[in-house]
A and B are shown apart, each in its own frame.
Chain A
Amino acid sequence: QKEVEQNSGPLSVPEGAIASLNCTYSDRGSQSFFWYRQYSGKSPELIMFIYSNGDKEDGRFTAQLNKASQYVSLLIRDSQPSDSATYLCAVNIGGRESGGYQKVTFGTGTKLQVIP
């Protein structure tokens, strides 16, 4: 089983719609969760991080975390063509507070296409 799993897509949504991106992880000890956006040929850009169960909102983006289900999602409201990119879910397994080695594992990413 992969440590971080995402549907590769592509996920196509019309402009103005809500895009929902999902991610599951295998390690129950995971502490922090990240969403990165990566445009083709570019490096990832951090969009949001979340570490508590529930929702975290930042502008058009909402991250949702459910540790019991080992599930994290990213909602993009009012999707724009400029949101078309690959979205990478990343999970921090063993953070500083545990005294352990900080390592972030990435999923393979979901390609999002926003259709004008």
Chain B
Amino acid sequence: GAVVSQHPSWVICKSGTSVKIECRSLDFQATTMFWYRQFPKQSLMLMATSNEGSKATYEQGVEKDKFLINHASLTLSTLTVTSAHPEDSSFYICSAETPGHRRADTQYFGPGTRLTVL
């Protein structure tokens, strides 16, 4: 149980283009999903929290107009990197929350999407 998928697993794009990444909870409904970014040899940095049916909550320093998040259903959240630039190249990972683990709301991670912007 608690399987999270991401698509695509990797993507290479030209500078200035937009890239959409999908995150799906396959066997449970996730009211909350999280988007992280991880640069090489660094830890996960939370970008935003996505709640189904409402606007995402972005962390300080994350441009909401650049990283568009849509959480249209209980099993799908999307992250669109608009006008991508080489500095946006990173490992993007989503996670979905599974409430109900006795005071420990755990997060299960998707396999990640490696974005390379040329």
Task: Write the chain A residue with the least CB distance to B105.
Answer: A102
Q: How many A-B residue pairs have CB under 8 A?
A: 60
Given contacts A96-B99, A102-B97, A103-B49, contact A44 B44 (CB under 8 A): yes
How many chain A residues sit at the interface, stated as a range, is 20 to 34
A51 CB-CB contact with B under 8 Å: yes
- The reply to whether B103 and A51 contact each other, CB–CB distance below 8 Å, is yes
- The reply to whether B112 and A104 contact each other, CB–CB distance below 8 Å, is no
B54 CB-CB contact with A under 8 Å: no
- The reply to whether B109 and A109 contact each other, CB–CB distance below 8 Å, is no
Contacts of B108 in A (CB 8 A): 46
A43 CB-CB contact with B under 8 Å: yes
- The reply to whether B103 and A88 contact each other, CB–CB distance below 8 Å, is no
- The reply to whether A31 and B44 contact each other, CB–CB distance below 8 Å, is no
Q: Which of B43, B99, B105 contacts A107 (CB 8 A)?
A: B43
Contacts of A102 in B (CB 8 A): 32, 97, 105
Given contacts A44-B44, A88-B43, contact A32 B111 (CB under 8 A): no
Interface on A for B, CB 8 Å cutoff?
31-32, 34, 36, 41-46, 49-51, 88, 92, 95-97, 101-109
**25 interchain pairs, CB-CB under 8 A:** A31-B103, A31-B104, A32-B103, A34-B107, A36-B109, A42-B111, A43-B110, A43-B111, A43-B112, A44-B44, A46-B107, A46-B108, A49-B101, A49-B104, A50-B104, A88-B43, A95-B104, A95-B105, A96-B105, A101-B57, A102-B97, A104-B34, A106-B43, A106-B44, A108-B43
